Structure 1
Amino acid sequence: MSPNELIKVYESRDYHYYLKSMLDKVPDNIDKREGSVIYDAVAPAAMNMALQSMSLANVIKETYIKTAEDVFLDYRAVERGTQRYPATAARVTAKFLDKHGKPINNVEVGDRFASLGDQPIFYKVISISSNFTGLLEAEELGTRPNAYLGQILPVTPNDSLYWAEVIEVSFPARDVETDEHLRQRLLSSDNWIAYGGNIADYLEMLSKISTVGAAQVYPVWAGGGTVKLVILDNDLMPASQQLLQEVKNTIDPPDAQGLGYGLAPIDHTVTVVAPQEVIVDVYIILQLENGEELSTLEPKIIYAIQDYFDLERKRWGKINQITGRGYSLTVYRSQILKEVMNVEGVVDADIPILNGINNDITMIENNNLSQLPILGKTTLIDRHQLAAGIKVENIKNRLVKVAGT
């Protein structure tokens, strides 16, 4: 019997189970109806036994990594020499201008700003660059600040300041690691050993840098002792220049490459880059249920397609499951079609056209180039609203022809 089966057994033994079990052992010539002496005598015991059964089910559940939750899973992580990734604070780049639109130079480290809105995000300046832009850190943890770009207001008084604005989320934050993500890490950790600058070792190094969301590792990409790291931020988008520099300084400082002053082993020269974005435009012809309007369903359909691209980016840093080495990622039209067909109100759809091509799009993942798919323009056509006399095939053929020229 597996732990899960044993948990179900204990969970099934509720109050009624134990009450019936005990009353079945009482001779039939004795009154055991509700309210009788014997019924009232065994009912409290049945309740207590049911509670004990639930407690036993919880003990079994929290004993194993596959079923443990919350703090109990944290304890199992500690036994494996790791811990749950904590939430981090976003760091953003902001510009500060006077009334003439010129940068001001009197914003100081420690000054505070706040975003607009009913629930403002508060920031603190942590550094000022040579061009008088500032690096600000959100005072709250988690991913909410990742979505904010725009005007910020000074909390610390500054008479010279006329305009302040967040222009880039340079280091997106992450939320506290979920149980499922932590569980996956713990259960997969036996599949590889991090040692001496192997791929697993570099992935472990990067996992300790809270601003890195995912990575690909290319060993000996430009000869012996060279390693290339291709990284994403916590939003699973190409890393900013600031993030690339932070990772480079941590792994293999540029002023002492290969000397072992970072996390990389001695004689390893590490290059840190971001992947190339591949914008994928999606064109698809749909058939909707009677009474449905494309303008109503369009946001849901685009959201479903975006979900697929988000999932692909989560797979981007995974080693090829077939070969056990290298990376491989393809944007499949059939998978996009599947997501679209799952939207309520869509009854039929043609195979999507991607970037004007009737083919899936395979990302390049090699020593020279690593690509990341990003959803671009989504064009949705209602089959019933096509102009009279224009066939669907003609539209698709024309689209492919235009895209290829």
Structure 2
Amino acid sequence: MAFEDKTQNNIMIDLKAAIEPDTSTEEGTLIDHSFRGAAAEFEKAYIELELIDQNGYAETADREHLILRAKEKGITPYAATNAVWKAEFNTEIAINARFSAGELTYICTEKITQLTYRLMCEQTGTGGNVKQDDLTPIEYIDGYESGELKELLTPARGEEKTEDFRARYLSIVAAAQAFGGNRAQYKAIMHKIEGVGACKIYRVTAQEKRIKIYFLDSTYKTPNNTLVSDVQKVVDPIGQQGEGAGEAAIYHVVDILACTSESVKIEAKITIDTGYTWEDLLASAQEKIDGYFLELAKSWENEQNITVRILKVNAAIASVEGIIDVQNTALNGREENLLLDPNAIPVRGVILCKQ
């Protein structure tokens, strides 16, 4: 439904056409004055009607109304989560001890080993994924000298963007409903777990009587062992597999596995503009390749295999200011597109500029 033609002038024409033909409607007449005010109000009403119409459909609704529509099916946007780090200290600290680093604060949630603890960033969002400076206790700790964030255990994710939420909602509605341990249900389970960004689910076969789920973390990288273990506990805890102790359906034995990373070595004949050197441009080229590989990682969930394409690699490198041309590109030693394993994503290896 569209009301683009329902402007004040067009409404005036329609109103005047509806009255007796011998009635004067020229500018300045009483009819003209009364119709002009009414037409302005009608135009506003049509604008509101168009907004109501747009917000009645998931494909065109604004965020507020999209959330309301999706909520009817039990679907809500993913909220921003908290990053969890492994931290090391020179002395024992108490659970719930708090620390500051940069503009962020952290709280101790668990002791891992002696002098090693889990710290949760108290601020939600991806800012918590960035390693900060040395940790400073917010309250006095006897014997404290130093503390450092060592490893990001559970990456945080930001609040789900409107278009990402719209795409997820539409895909869920279009697909089979999630129930009874079907593929849609396991996918929904995985995406609700903090730290999970994408997953692939493999059914039981005649040779393999276990469901296998490979996943990427919320930064679309290979997850660390701690996150794999945490996700396993949520879905189907080791020692209780098949018993329905986790989110998995009873009798379903589910193994949680990390998607692997394949290093991609790039060799190419790169023509560099006057006034630049390869050393000047290398960091920018690496950044462009990382961006392309991130796009591929984000598509991994919906692709049987990822293909690293020479054309895209060349385009990424050539987009760097100071690079004129890219030719004779080889990926892992071969001048052809690189097809990865179904459960692998590319990571940048060395980039060599051949003369």
Interval containing the TM-score (normalised by the shorter chain): 0.7 to 0.9
Q: Which residue of 2 aligns with 1:338?
A: 315
* Bigger mean CA offset, 54-63 vs 147-156: 147-156
Counting only pairs closer than 5 Å after superposition, residues 57-136 of structure 1 correspond to structure 2 as 57-97=50-90, 104-105=91-92, 107-116=93-102, 120-136=103-119
8 Å CA contact retained: 1:150, 1:167:
no
> 1:400 aligns to what?
none
1:19 offset after TM fit, Å? 4.9
Q: What residue in structure 1 maps to residue 151 of structure 2? A: 168
The answer on whether the counterparts of 2:126 and 2:155 sit within 8 Å (CA) in structure 1 is yes
In 2: Cα distance, 1:52 partner to 1:227 partner: 55
Verify: 1:245 aligned to 2:222, yes or no: no
Partner of 1:194: 178
The 3 A distance-change label for structure 1 pair 60 and 263 is: same
Mapped to 2, the partners of 1:38 and 1:199 lie a distance apart of 66
Contact 1:333 1:351 in 2 (8 A): no
Let me know the Cα RMSD of the aligned residues: 3.0
Aligned pair partner of 1:307 in 257, 272, 291: 291
DSSP-derived class of the 1:213 partner: strand
1:153 paired with 2:136, answer yes
Cα pair 1:80 1:186 within 8 Å, conserved: no
Task: Assess if the C-alpha contact under 8 Å between 2:154 and 2:194 holds in 1.
Answer: no
Aligned to 2:49: 56
Matched, 1:13 2:24: no
The change in CA–CA distance for 1:357 and 1:39 in structure 2 (over 3 A counts) is same
Alpha-carbon distance between aligned partners in 2 of 1:41 and 1:239, rounded to the nearest angstrom: 69
* Contact kept in structure 2, 1:149 and 1:169, CA below 8 Å: no
Query: Residue type of the partner of 1:82?
Result: I
In structure 1, what is the Cα distance between the partners aligned to 2:9 and 2:281? 48
Please tell me whether residue 178 in structure 1 is matched to residue 164 in structure 2: no
Q: Does 1:276 align with 2:253?
A: no
Alpha-carbon distance in structure 2 between the residues aligned to 1:17 and 1:349: 57
Structure 1 residues 251 and 59, CA, compared in 2 at 3 Å: closer, same or farther? same
**Residue 371 of structure 1 pairs with residue 354 of structure 2:** no
Q: Using the alignment, how far apart are the partners of 2:29 and 2:147 within structure 1?
A: 78
Q: Which residue of 2 aligns with 1:228?
A: 212
Tell me if the contact between 2:25 and 2:32 (Cα under 8 Å) persists in the aligned partners: no
Between the aligned partners of 1:19 and 1:287, the Cα distance in structure 2 is 65
Q: Is the 8 Å Cα contact of residues 214 and 317 (structure 1) preserved in structure 2? A: yes
Matched residue, 1:403 = none
Residue type of the alignment partner of 1:187: L
- Determine the structure 1 residue equivalent to 2:188: 204
Moved more, 178-187 or 298-307: 298-307
Task: State the AA in 2 paired with 1:337.
Answer: N
**Percent identity (aligned):** 26
Cα contact 1:114–1:122 (8 A) shared by 2? yes
Deviation (angstroms), 1:27: 8.2
Note the residue ranges of structure 2 that are not aligned, 5 or more in a row.
Answer: none
Q: Distance in 1 between matches of 2:332 and 2:116?
A: 37
| Change in 2 beyond 3 A, CA 1:284/1:19 | farther
- Matched residue of 2:65: which SS? helix
Cα deviation for residue 56 of structure 1 reads: 1.1
Provide the C-alpha distance between the structure 2 equivalents of 1:42 and 1:160, rounded to a whole number of angstroms. Answer: 82
Q: CA deviation at 1:67?
A: 0.7
